[in-house]
Structure 1
Amino acid sequence: MLFKWRASKNAAPSKTRGEQAEDRALHYLQQRGLNLLERNYRVAAGPHARAGEVDLIMRDSDGTTVFVEVRARADASHGGAAASVSATKQRRLVYAARHYLLRLATPPPCRFDVVAIEGEAIEWLQAAFDAP
């Protein structure tokens, strides 16, 4: 008998899981007073590559523009969600953020936050890293 593997109804492709994590992070941050400016801001490096992407660009109540990286993991094994924001990923975020800021006449104060989702837990790391 031939068996055909079929994903369960609860299994979601990684893009969908990423979108769900971003939805959760957005809702979490909005409940804490941040307002969405832009979602999935991408800067292309070439016809088939991305130089950088920011998951969420938010404005804090004090006027600070917040560039948010959302990371989700099923659990904290292998260092967890926050630890997965590598130096390379940070450089790409900074690159995209600088590109975004070039559109503005007067750049506002900014920071880079990480929202780490592990299972059902959400951790908001404000000013998680600095731009070099």
Structure 2
Amino acid sequence: MSTLSEQNRRQVGLQGEIAARQWLESLGYLFVAQNVYTRQGELDLVMREGETLVLVEVKFRRSLRFGQPLEAITPAKQRHLLQAAHYYLHKYPHPGPVRFDALGIQKQANGQLQFTHIKNAIQND
């Protein structure tokens, strides 16, 4: 059974993903999928920008108590995301370019959301 804090984290994460999707769509991105689960990890958002398939890791923070949102994407997290991406692309091949973006969302004191979008944030070296 999930604890209240686990449920709260999931709810906050979902709020962040919804805000991220809406923000990216306002920039012209097209929605493909959300919360793609694999054994290796979860892909928060799969979007398209033109012919490019964009895998997006979303980090949302209501405060800076635990640091900036994007600081949570550690090297270990990046490895899991790349493994999840390989699985996804094996299952759903994409003939065009693919990139992995990071999107940090910080809720400001006034309730406004501040977005930090890094294109090609995670690369397979």
TM-score range, shorter chain: 0.7 to 0.9
Structure 1 segments, 4+ long, off by >4 Å, are none
| 1:91 aligned residue | 79
Q: Determine the C-alpha separation between the residues in 2 that align with 1:106 and 1:123.
A: 26
Shift of 1:123: 1.2
| 1:57 aligned residue | 46
Which deviates further from its counterpart, 67-76 or 83-92?
67-76
Contact in 2 for aligned 1:69/1:113 (Cα 8 Å): yes
Q: Which structure has greater helix proportion?
A: 2
| 2:22 aligned residue | 27
Q: Cα RMSD between the aligned structures?
A: 1.8
5 Å matches for 1:77-88?
Answer: 77-88=65-76
Taking structure 1 as the reference length, the TM-score comes to 0.79
Gaps of 5+ in 2: 108-112
Shift of 1:36: 1.1
Structure 2: which amino acid aligns with 1:56? L
Q: Which structure has greater strand proportion?
A: 1
Gaps of 5+ in 1: 1-6, 45-50
Identity of aligned residues (%): 30
| 2:32 aligned residue | 37
Shift of 1:52: 1.1
How many pairs are equivalent? 115
| 2:110 aligned residue | none
* 1:127 maps to which of 103, 120, 123: 120
